């Protein structure tokens, strides 16, 4: 499969692609720079929304309109015609920031944390209710990353990048509890790290490879069955979008690289993988 570069390297650390069906835009973030980017496929332009301080790799549409964004330490709500409105503050420890997450079928907003210095076990996965109340769902995490739910909502797929695994949990939609952790897929030690992920309409799992220069697809049984190579190494996340949800959008980064290395790092890419995605789950708040 071929990945087409559709923007210049607009981000230093591009992350968190999310299709906004109402506006026909692909939202993504320049994470540590505190910028939310909205790329219009029809116009070929990208709108930049500056957020005070770093943002996490999470942007999702809201059922009430607008979008929800995780910042360095909490969650804010954005509307086209209003200033950012804080929903909740989650992180209080110094040296810890939000990283990746998503929305569950019930409309909760899930966001994970990590230490800036990647201290093992310093991160936590939180679930945030529509009213802003929140609770820890998983502790002893190092780099909390991609998360998504099966169509029936009974299974969660989750990446803590450092162990080199994609895990599954049984999910209780009523309580939001996780249980029965199992390994779904593993990556060869020292090759790359699993990063952001998404599921397609056939139950296949697509995951970005940080320092692996690709997106991989795993079949529902955990078998690797497709690879999308990219011209840059630091591939961060992927998400389906487009009017028919048949395009896979891929974010990349040049974080930590010397000047001139990976010149396309930080650009947005897309490919036609031959399968469709699923409608984006909205935040209930």
Residues catalogued as catalytic: 195
Exposure string for 182-220, b = 16+ CB within 10 A, e = fewer: eebbebeeeebbbbbbbbbeeebbbbbbbebbbbbbbee
User: Which tokens is 163 given?
Assistant: 């162990």
Contact present, 191 and 163 (Cβ < 8 Å): no
What is the pairing mode between strands 235-241 and 224-229?
unpaired
Q: How far is CA 123 from the centre of its chain?
A: 16
Contact present, 218 and 209 (Cβ < 8 Å): no
How far is 125 from 113, CA to CA, in rounded Å?
A: 6
How far is 264 from 258, CA to CA, in rounded Å?
A: 13
Radius of gyration of the chain (CA): 17
Residues 6 or more apart whose Cβ sits within 8 Å of residue 109: 58, 60, 68, 70, 75, 101, 102, 103, 127, 128, 283, 285
Contact present, 20 and 283 (Cβ < 8 Å): no
Residue 256 CB-density burial (10 A; 0-12 exposed, 13-18 middle, 19+ buried): exposed
């Amino acid at each position: 499969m071929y990945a087409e570069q559709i923007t210049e390297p607009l981000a230093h650390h591009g992350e968190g692609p999310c299709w906004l069906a109402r506006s026909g835009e692909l939202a993504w973030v320049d994470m540590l720079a505190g910028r939310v980017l909205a790329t219009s496929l029809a116009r070929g332009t990208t709108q930049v929304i500056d957020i005070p301080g770093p943002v996490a790799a999470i942007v999702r549409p809201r059922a009430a309109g607008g979008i929800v964004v995780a910042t360095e330490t909490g969650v804010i709500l954005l509307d086209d015609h209003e200033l950012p409105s804080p929903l909740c503050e989650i992180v209080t420890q110094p040296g810890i920031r939000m990283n990746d997450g998503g929305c569950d079928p019930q409309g909760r907003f899930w966001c994970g944390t990590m230490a800036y210095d990647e201290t093992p076990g310093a991160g936590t996965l939180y679930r945030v209710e529509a009213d802003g109340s929140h609770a820890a769902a998983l502790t002893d995490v190092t780099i909390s990353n991609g998360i998504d739910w099966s169509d029936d909502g009974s299974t969660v797929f989750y990446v803590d990048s450092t162990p080199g695994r994609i895990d599954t949990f049984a999910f209780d939609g009523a309580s939001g509890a996780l249980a029965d952790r199992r390994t779904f897929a593993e990556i060869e030690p020292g090759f790359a790290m699993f990063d952001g992920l998404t599921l397609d309409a056939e139950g296949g799992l697509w995951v970005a490879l940080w320092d692996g220069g690709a997106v991989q697809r795993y079949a529902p049984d955990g078998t690797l069955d497709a690879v999308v190579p990219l011209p840059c190494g630091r591939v961060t996340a992927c998400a389906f979008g487009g009017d028919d949800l048949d395009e896979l959008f891929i974010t990349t980064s040049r974080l930590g690289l010397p000047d001139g290395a990976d010149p396309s790092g930080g650009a947005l890419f897309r490919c036609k993988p031959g399968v469709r995605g699923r409608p984006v789950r909205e935040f209930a708040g």
